[in-house]
Amino acid sequence: MAESYAVSQPRGFQNQIENVAIVGAAGYSGKYIVEALLRNGRQKVTAVTREGGTSQMPAGVDVKKVNYDDHEALTQALRGQDALV
């Protein structure tokens, strides 16, 4: 595989993760990941939560409430994300 550098990529190429979706963002481990990402300040953080969930997210976290059994809803919630945790 040939090496490829960011400088040789087409205009608009991003060499970093900007949008991160997190399932379980209010859970035992997830809340620490959310805090670290917010502290870093380089990523837009989206919490994917269950419909009817009552967990509170910190300021700066976009919340997408979905029915986990609805594949289309999950697909829509994850559209535009660079990473899923």
d(CA 2, CA 53) in angstroms, rounded, equals 47
What pTM does this model have?
0.81
Q: What contacts 58, CB < 8 A, 6 or more positions away?
A: 34, 35, 38
Contact 55, 49 (CB under 8 A): yes
pLDDT at residue 73 in the model:
95
Residue 1 has pLDDT above 60, yes or no: no
Q: What contacts 83, CB < 8 A, 6 or more positions away?
A: 17, 19, 20, 21
Q: For residue range 8-42, list pLDDT tens digits in order.
A: 888 877 778 999 999 999 999 999 999 999 999 99
